[in-house]
Structure 1
Amino acid sequence: MSRSTPLYRNVLLALTVWLLGGCSALSPYSSLTKLDLTLSASDQVNLDLNGRPSPLVVRLLELKHPVAFENADFFSLYERPKASLSPDLVTSEELEVRPGETVDLKLSVEPGSRYVAVLAAYRDLPQTQWRYVVPLAAGDLTTAHLVLDQAGIHNAARASAQAED
């Protein structure tokens, strides 16, 4: 019997597909907690003293629990995040969002992180919602679309639902 028979090739192909499927099911990457986060900045975000829109510094903080983040003041969180959020802070990342820009982030969250806190450095802190917490579905994909505008950070789904009312 020749090794190049159609039956041999089909059995070999089926075995290869089955083995590769089994490997991916056992992969540690298949059970990671993931976050697809979209940040959409208004074209009038973070107005300066002359009324011109300005870029906004945004920090993403992976947390075990959100209570310390929700109760701390902006400057403690911005200047001393480790001290303010210890032991809940897992890791953090900073980015800049320009007026009118939409940023799509696909994040693999560190083990132990149950929330991603969003901190935005608005010029007019007392008048804006500068913090937001996204709860994560452990071992699954969480999707969130946040709008950054003159009022602060808010969930795009809630904003569109309120606009329809």
Structure 2
Amino acid sequence: MPHCTMHLSKILPAFATTLLLAGCSALSPFSTMTKLNLTLTASDRLNPDLNGRPSPVVVRLFELKHPVAYENADFFSLYERARETLAPDLVSSEELELRPGETVELRLAISGDGRYVGVLVAYRDLPHARWRYTLPVAATQLTEANLTLDENGSPTRLSGWPRWMTDESR
């Protein structure tokens, strides 16, 4: 019998620790956060200059309560006066530079109010480029999306985005 007690004395603490960790993760505030894993990939021909050489683009991400103001604003209003243009829907914004051939993987925590992420890409040839994308994020869940951009903003690969959010008419 002592052999059985010794064996249980090793198993019981390990089992209790496992239960405790499982309970903590279920109660963790991070388990109910809204999260977005967004992968941005630039083609090797991204944003060509006047000589056809690929160039970097500035990418701005807007966390939004509602997408209507974002989807109806012109590029320069969003780029130069985002806070005024998007108030009161703007929760936060981020900016990054994406170089030709580069892939950036973003792991973002979305606030309680954020339900959409707007992706604005500052192309050199705006009249001929698709520069705006809108992505809904599911509350308290993980949303995963990939956006691969070519030289004029046409997505060469777009996954994780609802069909109506990727329509060219938007």
TM-score by length of structure 2 reads 0.86
Q: Does 1:112 align with 2:110?
A: no
Q: Deviations over 1:52-91 (max 9, x none)?
A: 1100000011001000000001111001110000010011
Residue type of the partner of 1:142? Answer: T
Q: 1:138 Cα shift?
A: 1.1
Give distance in 2, aligned partners of 1:153 and 1:106: 24
User: Any residues of structure 2 matched to 1:69-148 within 5 Å, and which?
Assistant: 69-148=70-149
Indicate conservation of the 8 Å contact 1:146/1:153, yes or no: no
Q: Deviations over 1:72-126 (max 9, x none)?
A: 0111100111000001001111000001111111111122110110001101111
Q: 1:155 Cα shift?
A: 6.7
Indicate conservation of the 8 Å contact 2:148/2:156, yes or no: yes
Give distance in 2, aligned partners of 1:85 and 1:52: 34
Give distance in 1, aligned partners of 2:154 and 2:142: 21
Matched residues, number: 157
4+ residue segments displaced more than 2 Å: none
Specify every segment of 5 or more residues in structure 2 that has no aligned partner in the other structure, as ranges. 160-170
**Counterpart for residue 67 of structure 2:** 66
**Counterpart for residue 6 of structure 1:** 7
Give distance in 2, aligned partners of 1:18 and 1:78: 50
Q: Deviations over 1:2-42 (max 9, x none)?
A: xx822122122211211111111000000111111111111
Indicate conservation of the 8 Å contact 1:132/1:153, yes or no: no
Q: Does 1:29 align with 2:30?
A: yes
Residue type of the partner of 1:72? Answer: A
In structure 2, do the counterparts of structure 1 residues 153 and 134 end up closer, same or farther at CA, with 3 Å as the change threshold? Answer: farther
**Counterpart for residue 53 of structure 1:** 54
TM-score by length of structure 1 reads 0.89
Specify every segment of 5 or more residues in structure 1 that has no aligned partner in the other structure, as ranges. 159-165
